[in-house]
């Protein structure tokens, strides 16, 4: 694949590896293992002195097409696909950390990401510090001798808080700290943290990459050196590998991700502007709204505001539930980035795991509602919101 090809060409043709049958679509290799001509050949392949697949826990031809294609979009050198977004988050951290290390994380995180950092990592003797990641100087202030990783989501789930990727990565680089960025909300279409200095990027393929609610999947991206020396040896033996079938679905999803995310983002901005003026809404959170507190930063690091918005309805949990139950097109669910529009009540679903005080300190109140905007006609979605708000 020529480096100067445009992004659409890369998404349609990146990583293509046709079999002798010369199929048009990408081949799906549903196989756990591979067969060798001789014991000598097997020995060489397992030793790594001859190229060849060993076992689908390590790699698989279909998975490899997905990995190459995603790396082309993200801008990172290398990619390792995983079974889910959470396995990508967990293994991106665990493959690097050891007892006695310290990690600094933004506190505005998806519930399961918070659970890993707050409750799982300390079991292995890893020190943690949560900060308000929006305050760039907090990252610098909290560095210790043993700080190994900075971790953050931007935009965050569900309040769309942003982190200044470039500035935080500069602080990390100066202090020989690795940055791990959860780029799930923006997707690689709207934001490429590696170009702003980030080292490792994680994705949930379940979100925009599939974008059609079919499979779970994830990916960890970084340098070739990171993949070969740190990630691969750890993942080979611990096994969070993706099913080749799921990888095939995700690589076909990549073919349309750009047009889907761009159109969904346009729809989301229209609906955010509409809700922003509605008398029954207390506050709307969307990075590309002109009155969003981090609008300038959003404009400088994201190509659009994204496919998710959140808002606080005037009232309490009862009012939020009443509104959600009245929606006719939006599905009540917890996923996002789907072509089908989805409504979520974070307090009782995605962020249920957080203690009440912690949730409230992050601004995740009972009247908060998250919308993931799909590809339906935006006028229909607007009318659905209007009738439910009535
Ligand atoms: C910010 C963020 N990170 C990670 C994940 C986990 O992804 P998955 O559901 O594929 O495990 C999610 C899922 O909602 C998410 O929103």
Note whether 289 and 364 are same-domain residues: yes
Q: Is 118 exposed, middle or buried (0-12, 13-18, 19+ CB in 10 A)?
A: middle
Contact assessment for residue 102 and residue 139, using Cβ atoms and an 8 Å cutoff: no
Compute, in angstroms, the gap from residue 185 CA to the centroid of ligand 1: 9
Note whether 281 and 221 are same-domain residues: no
Q: Is 79 exposed, middle or buried (0-12, 13-18, 19+ CB in 10 A)?
A: buried
Contact assessment for residue 338 and residue 96, using Cβ atoms and an 8 Å cutoff: no
Q: Report the distance separating Cα 157 and Cα 139, nearest Å.
A: 20
Note whether 293 and 225 are same-domain residues: no
| Residue that is written with structure tokens 């799930």 in the block | 184
Per-residue pLDDT of the chain (390 residues; tens, 9 = 90+): 788 899 999 999 999 999 999 999 999 999 999 999 999 999 999 999 999 999 999 999 999 999 999 999 999 999 999 999 999 999 999 999 999 999 999 999 999 999 999 999 999 999 999 999 999 999 999 999 999 999 999 999 999 999 999 999 999 999 999 999 999 999 999 999 999 999 999 999 999 999 999 999 999 999 999 999 999 999 999 999 999 999 999 999 999 999 999 999 999 999 999 999 999 999 999 999 999 999 999 999 999 999 999 999 999 999 999 999 999 999 999 999 999 999 999 999 999 988 999 999 999 999 999 999 999 999 999 999 999 999
Domain hosting residue 322, numbered range: 258-389
pLDDT digits (tens, 9 = 90+) for 333-377: 999 999 999 999 999 999 998 899 999 999 999 999 999 999 999
To the question of pTM greater than 0.85 for the whole model, the response is yes
Q: Tell whether 230 is covered by a domain.
A: yes
Instruction: Ligand 1 pocket test: pick from 90, 207, 246 the residue with the most ligand atoms within 8 Å of its Cβ.
Output: 207
Q: Report the distance separating Cα 177 and Cα 97, nearest Å.
A: 12
Task: Give the chain's domain count.
Answer: 2
Q: Tell whether 2 is covered by a domain.
A: no
Q: What is the DSSP letter of 33?
A: B
Which residue's alpha carbon is nearest to atom 1 within ligand 1?
110
Note whether 219 and 86 are same-domain residues: yes
Compute, in angstroms, the gap from residue 252 CA to the centroid of ligand 1: 20
* Residue length of the chain: 390
Q: Which two tokens stand for residue 252?
A: 């076909």
Note whether 176 and 280 are same-domain residues: no
Please report, for the domain that includes residue 271, its CATH number. 3.90.1150.10
Chain centroid to CA 124: 25
Note whether 262 and 350 are same-domain residues: yes
Pocket of ligand 1 (CB under 6 A): 84-86, 89, 110, 113, 153, 157, 182, 184-185, 204, 206, 216, 218
Instruction: Ligand 1 pocket test: pick from 83, 85, 201 the residue with the most ligand atoms within 8 Å of its Cβ.
Output: 85
């Amino acid at each position: 694949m020529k480096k100067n090809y445009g992004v659409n060409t890369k998404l349609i043709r990146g990583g293509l590896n046709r079999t002798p049958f010369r199929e048009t679509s990408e081949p799906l290799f549903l196989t756990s293992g591979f067969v060798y001509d001789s014991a000598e050949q097997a020995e060489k392949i397992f030793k790594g002195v001859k190229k060849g697949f060993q076992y689908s826990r390590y790699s698989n031809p279909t998975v490899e097409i997905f990995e190459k294609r995603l790396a082309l979009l993200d801008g990172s050198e290398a990619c390792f696909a995983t079974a889910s977004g959470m396995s990508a988050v967990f293994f991106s951290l665990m493959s690097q950390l050891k007892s006695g290390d310290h990690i600094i994380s933004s506190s505005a995180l998806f519930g399961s990401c918070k659970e890993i950092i707050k409750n799982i990592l300390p079991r292995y003797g890893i020190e943690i510090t949560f900060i308000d990641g929006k305050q760039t100087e907090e990252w610098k202030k909290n560095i210790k001798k043993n700080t190994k990783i900075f971790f953050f989501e931007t935009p965050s789930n569900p309040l769309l808080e942003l982190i200044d990727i470039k500035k935080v990565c500069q602080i990390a680089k100066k202090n020989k700290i690795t940055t791990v960025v959860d780029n799930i909300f923006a997707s690689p279409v709207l934001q490429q943290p590696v170009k702003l200095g980030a080292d490792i990027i994680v994705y949930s393929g379940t979100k925009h990459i599939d974008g059609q609610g079919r499979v779970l999947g994830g990916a960890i991206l970084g340098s070739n050196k990171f993949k070969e020396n740190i990630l691969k040896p750890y993942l080979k033996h611990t096994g969070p590998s993706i099913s080749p079938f799921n990888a095939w679905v995700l690589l076909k999803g990549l073919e349309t991700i750009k047009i889907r995310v761009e159109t969904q983002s346009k729809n989301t901005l229209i609906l955010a502007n509409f809700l922003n003026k509605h008398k029954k809404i207390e506050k709307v959170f969307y990075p590309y709204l002109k009155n969003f507190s981090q609008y300038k930063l959003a404009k400088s690091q994201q190509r659009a505001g994204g496919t998710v918005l959140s808002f606080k309805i005037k009232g309490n949990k009862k009012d939020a539930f009443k509104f959600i139950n009245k929606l006719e097109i939006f599905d009540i669910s917890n996923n996002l980035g789907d072509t089908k529009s989805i409504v979520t009540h974070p307090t009782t679903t995605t962020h249920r795991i957080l203690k009440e005080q912690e949730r409230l300190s992050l601004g995740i109140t009972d009247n908060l509602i998250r919308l993931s905007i799909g590809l339906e006609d935006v006028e229909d979605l607007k009318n659905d919101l209007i009738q439910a708000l009535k």
